[in-house]
Amino acid sequence: MAEVHRFTENALSDWMKGDGPDSDIVISSRIRIARNVRAYPFPMLATNQQSKEVLDKVSEVLGNEELDTISRFTLLPLSELDELKRRVLVEKHLISPALANESRNGAVILSDNESISIMVNEEDHLRIQCLCPGFQIKEAWDLANQIDDLFESHLEYAFDEKRGYMTSCPTNVGTGIRASVMIHLPALVLTQQINRILSAITQVGLAVRGLYGEGSEALGNLFQISNQITLGQSEEEIIDNLHSVVRQIIEHERAARQKLAQESRAKLLDRVSRSFGILSYAAIMDSKEAAQRLSDVRLGIDMGFIKKVSPQALNELLVMTQPGFLQQTAGEKLSPEERDIRRAQLIRDKMSESDEAR
């Protein structure tokens, strides 16, 4: 159980502690690859014995010396994790909600710094995920591709010459790749340009989702932008298209921030300062308000209005203020009001720590 605690007790993954390119706007870059083992049914149709055999085959690859050169990896069977620990892993983006609800031989393989997460027996037999700080989508792809090649050298993937990699969901058939960035766009929201930008994004074959992917709300002005097309394009074409569009979005957000600084500086400073004050002294706060206030403060940091708090502290708070992590640190289940009280206290403490550290 010590291995489990190592991944669930800290809100901030080691990979998030470093700065990446354009990290004032792009929080993280992610590649996720869907793969299935030939001759076995997809997880939703597999028997308990079949899914166990898949897990055993994947586990055998962990002993490979080539994999050790990338990182040390830990296998965590979902059956050994209680509901709260599963929820924390979801909040840290290390597993999906679908895997958290899986009870039939589901598992996750995590690298020491948590930048690599390999889900086993989720919607597909393998979901290889690589995360990098800032705008490093090509670097994330290079790492994911390396791991994918290693697993493919030991497992026979389900592959069709015409259709590509076979996946449980038809929308993933082909390359099986989902490339995405988590991007913070407060200025585009404040200048009311966001709807136009998001509409343009969807017209070029990209999808826009919230903090936790499909079906989730874009809290705190955080958006996930990812490819929708996996069939008919190469992996490099998918990556290049996303990279090009995100680069344009970054420039639009920077221009919007400059416009706010020039035309509405006093109002913007007031908004940022009020949110900083509320976060520093509020006695109760729900998750939606916390996300919005943290977004304001992050914008204030990036524009030089606030120097007392680090971006890494805000990244940590994004996870620490989620329901699962709040209850884990409390050591018990909490009612919604109790969570709101504890969330406010935790944010106050974090703000005070940042102030003292500087």
pLDDT at 358: 41
Residue 81 identity? L
Residues of the domain holding 221:
2-256
Any known ligand binding at 179?
A: yes
pLDDT at 47: 95
Any known ligand binding at 178?
A: yes
Say whether pLDDT at 354 is over 70: no
On whether both 231 and 89 belong to a single domain, the answer is yes
**Rounded-to-integer distance, Cα 67 and Cα 355, Å:** 41
Any known ligand binding at 32?
A: yes
Any known ligand binding at 93?
A: yes
Any known ligand binding at 127?
A: yes
Say whether pLDDT at 289 is over 70: yes
Which residue, 256, 287, 306, sits at the end of a domain?
256
Question: For 44-83, what is each residue's pLDDT tens digit?
Answer: 999 999 999 999 999 999 888 888 889 999 999 999 999 9
Any known ligand binding at 29?
A: yes
Any known ligand binding at 247?
A: no
On whether both 278 and 350 belong to a single domain, the answer is yes
Contacts of 352 (CB under 8 A, 6+ apart): 280
On whether both 175 and 45 belong to a single domain, the answer is yes
Question: For 80-119, what is each residue's pLDDT tens digit?
Answer: 999 999 999 999 999 999 999 876 899 999 999 999 999 9
Angle between helices 311-320 and 287-302 (to 10 degrees): 170
Any known ligand binding at 31?
A: yes
Any known ligand binding at 225?
A: no
Any known ligand binding at 211?
A: yes
Any known ligand binding at 6?
A: no
Any known ligand binding at 28?
A: yes
On whether both 193 and 311 belong to a single domain, the answer is no
Predicted model pTM: 0.91
**Rounded-to-integer distance, Cα 4 and Cα 333, Å:** 19
Both tokens assigned to 41: 């049914």
On whether both 43 and 175 belong to a single domain, the answer is yes
On whether both 184 and 329 belong to a single domain, the answer is no
pLDDT at 9: 85
On whether both 321 and 225 belong to a single domain, the answer is no
Any known ligand binding at 356?
A: no
Question: For 196-224, what is each residue's pLDDT tens digit?
Answer: 999 999 888 899 987 555 545 668 899 99
Mean per-residue pLDDT of the chain: 91
Q: Which residue has the tokens 């919007």?
A: 256
Any known ligand binding at 209?
A: yes
